[in-house]
């Protein structure tokens, strides 16, 4: 009887936890969206307290212009997104559940025009739309004590809370580096390419962006040693999807979507 009850409960848990990503991949997503959004908002507020925020109006308007163009075509159910530029020399950006986008000043010399910055922002927003943070937290929930994770949702300063922030994609800021998996990274590349094209940016610049990243990063470990696709693989995959993305961008521009974001 107990075995039957356990099996039934487990099966129900698995069924309830099944989801599908925007690109059609089956996902294990268990955590409630409102809890994940709360984690994202709290993480963002902590980041603003711990990392200097850039107040240059022109720079903020530029980043917001690109971000808003991506958000408008994302079909996100978040009513209001917040965008912040952080004074940090690392070439990094992130998006968090709850509608938060952060861009480091160190990214701008690498993503050195609006189309290339749109590539990064589209990629990060794609992580959120694809529930990659929720997926990773749900996987962790499945293999650890659920109670500890639930308690950590309300306190990101604990060790477990910081681990959860790493799962959301802001681990470097919290001292925990938990990169997205290769599948999630590739998924974000493809969805991000679609988003920037729908917004009217030039998808071809996505290849230039990752070429810049490769030059900025120097020597890179072989792909099988990393959870991320190699730059070469990433560029090959983007080029394979480029014809469709260019068609989407052409249609978007014909419909009047021509972002005029200038620094």
The catalytic residue positions are: 124
The CA distances from residue 46 to 17, 39, 53, in Å, are 29, 11, 12
In the block, which residue shows the tokens 């809370």?
A: 161
The structure tokens listed for 218 are 């120097």
Distant-in-sequence, close-in-space partners of 36: CB < 8 Å, separation ≥ 6: 97, 98, 131, 133, 134, 137, 168
- Cα 118 from Cα 245, distance rounded (Å): 14
Q: Cα 251 from chain centroid?
A: 25
Helix (H, G, I), strand (E, B) or coil at 144: coil
The structure tokens listed for 249 are 């961008």
């Amino acid at each position: 009887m107990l075995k039957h009850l356990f099996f039934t409960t487990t099966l129900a848990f698995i069924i309830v936890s099944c989801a599908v990503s925007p690109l059609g991949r089956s996902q294990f997503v268990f955590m409630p969206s409102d809890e994940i959004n709360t984690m994202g908002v709290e993480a963002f507020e902590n980041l603003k307290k711990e990392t200097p925020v850039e107040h240059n109006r022109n720079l903020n308007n530029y980043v917001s212009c690109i971000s808003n163009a991506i958000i408008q075509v994302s079909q996100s159910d978040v009513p209001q997104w917040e965008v912040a530029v952080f004074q940090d020399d690392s070439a990094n950006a992130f998006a968090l559940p709850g509608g938060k986008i952060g861009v480091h000043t160190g990214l701008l010399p690498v993503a050195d025009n609006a189309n290339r910055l749109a590539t990064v922002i589209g990629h990060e927003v794609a992580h959120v739309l694809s529930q990659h943070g929720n997926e990773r937290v749900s996987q962790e929930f499945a293999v650890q004590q659920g109670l500890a994770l639930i308690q950590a949702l309300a306190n990101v300063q604990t060790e477990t809370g910081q681990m959860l922030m790493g799962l959301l994609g802001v681990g470097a800021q919290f001292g925990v580096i938990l990169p997205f998996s290769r599948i999630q990274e590739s998924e974000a590349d493809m969805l991000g390419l679609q988003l920037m094209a729908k917004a009217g940016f030039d998808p071809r610049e996505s290849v230039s962006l990752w070429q810049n990243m490769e030059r900025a990063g120097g020597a890179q470990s072989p792909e099988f040693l990393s959870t991320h696709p190699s730059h070469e693989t990433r560029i090959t995959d983007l080029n394979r999807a480029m014809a469709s993305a260019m068609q989407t961008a052409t249609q978007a521009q014909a419909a009047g979507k021509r972002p005029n974001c200038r620094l």
